[in-house]
Amino acid sequence: MEILVCAKRVPDTSENEIELNRAGNDIQRDDLVYSVNEPDNYAVEEALQIVDRAGGSVTVATVGGEDDEEILRREMAMGAKNAVLLSDEAFQGSDGRGTATVLKAFVQKRNFDLILTGVQADDGAAQVGGMLAAMLDYPFASLVTSIEVVEGRKLKVSREIEGGNKEINEIDLPCVLSIQTGINEPRYVGMRGIRQVASVPIPTLDAADLGVDAGHVGERAAKVKRVDYFAPPVGKGAEMLEGSREERIDQLIELVRAKGGLK
């Protein structure tokens, strides 16, 4: 099975506190540590496990710039055989639709049986996979928590739904699935693995290579634009307990007791 995983390089929220800049209209971008979007690692791991069972190979692609090569290498170190950078000035400022348009053009150049994305990225949009599927007229399932390859070019997938329940679906190949975290345990990638792929050339495809009409992507084509960032409203806000740790513990125990949570 030929599998494409669409990945994204994002600010790593486990390494950074995301804060507003001085002007208060953008996030503070100096010294941000970037890494691969966490759900995308689960998608790559799942693709590798499917290939282990059913044969084929895994390709990882991202829409971005030179800086984004590092995540492609990381996913190659995990075991992805091929990586491709989809990069063109014309792609900059794309909304979800624009990104999906670029990926669609790439998919149409190749032959993939299965396309995986992480469930969502830093912007929490969870949109590109579903859009890509619609553009290709492929079936789509989101929030996927298990994949089983069955006979006759079909998969049996479970989706996460409310209350911890699972929805089981049969889906025809080719299809697009968005992968939920927790579906597997992504393998560890050490420095040695990264070094082994450090000098592997990564092909770059631009708008002309992909046959993408520059008028359909990028900032000018985007119907959805982020205007600015701002500090979230505080709401009622918590009463912050102050003092030494001992004092705060005593205050907290008193409060918990008063609320009936402690006998």
- DSSP-derived secondary structure letter, 231: P
Q: Which of 56, 65, 93, 130 binds other proteins (CB under 8 A)?
A: 130
Site for other proteins in 225-244 (CB under 8 A): 225-241
For other proteins, the binding residue among 129, 179, 205, 218 (CB under 8 A) is 129
Q: Residue 105 — φ and ψ, nearest 5°?
A: -60, -40
Site for other proteins in 145-184 (CB under 8 A): 156, 158-172, 175, 181-182
Distance CA 58, CA 179 (A): 15
Helix, strand, or coil here: 250?
A: helix
Residue 130 Cβ vs other proteins, minimum distance, rounded to whole Å? 3
The number of residues that bind other proteins (CB under 8 A) is 83
Distance CA 263, CA 259 (A): 10
Residues 6+ apart with CB under 8 A from 82: 57, 58, 59, 60
Instruction: Choose between 198 and 241: whose C-beta lies nearer to other proteins.
Output: 241
Binding mask 7-26 for other proteins (x = CB under 8 A): ----x-xx--xxxx------
What minimum distance in Å lies between the beta carbon of 196 and other proteins? Answer: 27
Nearest distance, CB of residue 255 and other proteins, angstroms? 6
| Buried/exposed code over 45-54 (b: 16+ C-beta within 10 A; e: otherwise) | bbbbbbbeee
The region of 48-56, 121-129, 195-203, 204-212 touching other proteins under the rule CB under 8 A is: 121-129
Residue type, 142: S
